[in-house]
């Protein structure tokens, strides 16, 4: 393994196939991670390309899987998942978990109810061996018909202050359980009329700067990560989405808002990126934008899995120089989100 690939691998999170140790697809993907120095993985309940089950079958099975991932990748490997509640929860009632409300339903609960639901979810994540949750979604519900946010009840509210209040209760519970949280989707997906899973969402005419940045401004002091979306804001960068834009990632998020935590890209295998850029280009642009973690879910209709992505990473690493300081800083920022694992929660 070249030094450049190892450093890029330290900044990459990959999706893996398989639910049980010994599954050939799982072991192949973990071998690819080891080859590239990848120590962060993300789990899914189903595989988009095949339509079948992927990593989640039961609470006990998920814990065996996450323990196995650490046995292969190292004790400090991080396991992530999307666990918002409602339509976006990989640990669902269908697989023996409690099941949790959507953001919109969550906001309608009493404060006591919100705290209870947040603690229940956080403890379930901890017990399953999950280190990092790509939640809460702090997109403001500006467009209730937004196909991937409002229409799916993924926003807490159309009021920024209520979004912040709900998010804080989620964050507190997860921090107490030692599970890191990543806010999404910067700089705001709530006004979009398009779904970035299927192409870049242009929010240039609908984005409300003050309302949509307000949750990030208010939550900057929390121990959180931020996910950048495949969202175009022509006034800031007419060529690249936020996830691949240095103007947005470094300029707006880092320099203007002063965010010092880890920045994650949205999944690079979504069509918002792959419809225009090759994998090699996506990795290079993500690094140049200033992202700490380049997320590739390995879970799209294209059927790109970890071995395919690692080959693209090898090619991209040849064009990237001086990554070691960046990789070191990225790892420090990510690990600061997550408390060392413990099994003493009640």
Residues with Cβ within 8 Å of 311's Cβ and at least 6 positions away in sequence, in order, are none
Strand blocks (E) in 164-241: 180-186, 201-202, 225-228, 231-232
Rounded to 5°, the CA angle 1-250-297 comes to 50
CA distance 142 to 165: 17
CA distance 52 to 293: 27
- Which one is catalytic: 29, 195, 237, 266? 266
Rounded to 5°, the CA angle 142-146-150 comes to 65
Rounded to 5°, the CA angle 44-47-52 comes to 115
Burial category of 205 from C-beta neighbours within 10 Å (exposed 0-12, middle 13-18, buried 19 and up): exposed
Say whether 174 is catalytic: no
Say whether 266 is catalytic: yes
- Which one is catalytic: 68, 185, 189, 197? 197
List the catalytic residues: 197, 266
């Amino acid at each position: 393994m070249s030094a450049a690939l190892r450093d890029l691998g330290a900044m990459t999170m990959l999706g893996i196939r398989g639910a049980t140790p010994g599954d050939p697809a799982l072991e192949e993907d973990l071998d690819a991670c080891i080859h590239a120095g990848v120590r962060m993985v993300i789990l899914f309940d189903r595989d988009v390309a095949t339509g079948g089950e992927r990593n989640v079958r039961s609470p006990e099975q998920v814990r065996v899987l996450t323990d196995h991932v650490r046995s292969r990748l190292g004790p400090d490997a991080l396991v992530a998942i999307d666990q918002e509640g409602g339509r976006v929860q990989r640990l669902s009632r269908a697989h023996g978990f409690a099941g949790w409300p959507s953001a919109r339903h969550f906001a309608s609960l009493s404060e006591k109810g919100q705290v209870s639901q947040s603690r229940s979810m956080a403890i379930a994540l901890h017990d399953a061996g999950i280190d990092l949750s790509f939640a809460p979604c702090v997109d403001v519900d500006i467009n209730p018909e937004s196909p991937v946010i409002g229409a799916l009840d993924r926003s807490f509210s159309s009021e920024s202050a209520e979004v912040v209040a709900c998010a804080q209760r989620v964050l507190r519970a997860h921090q107490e359980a030692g599970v890191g949280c990543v806010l999404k989707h910067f700089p705001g997906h709530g006004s979009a009329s398009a779904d970035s899973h299927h192409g870049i969402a242009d929010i240039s005419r609908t984005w409300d700067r003050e309302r949509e940045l307000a949750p990030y401004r208010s939550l900057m002091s929390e121990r959180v990560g931020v996910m950048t979306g495949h969202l175009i804001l022509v006034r800031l960068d007419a060529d690249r989405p936020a996830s691949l834009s240095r103007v947005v990632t470094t300029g707006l998020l880092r320099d203007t808002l002063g965010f010092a935590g880890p920045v994650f890209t949205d999944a690079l295998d979504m069509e918002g990126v792959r419809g225009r850029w090759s994998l090699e280009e996506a990795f290079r642009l993500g690094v140049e934008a200033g992202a700490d973690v380049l997320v590739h879910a390995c879970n799209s209709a294209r059927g790109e899995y970890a071995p395919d992505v690692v080959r693209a990473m090898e090619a991209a690493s040849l064009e990237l120089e001086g990554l070691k300081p960046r990789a070191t800083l990225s790892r420090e920022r990510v690990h600061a989100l997550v408390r060392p694992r413990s099994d003493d929660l009640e």
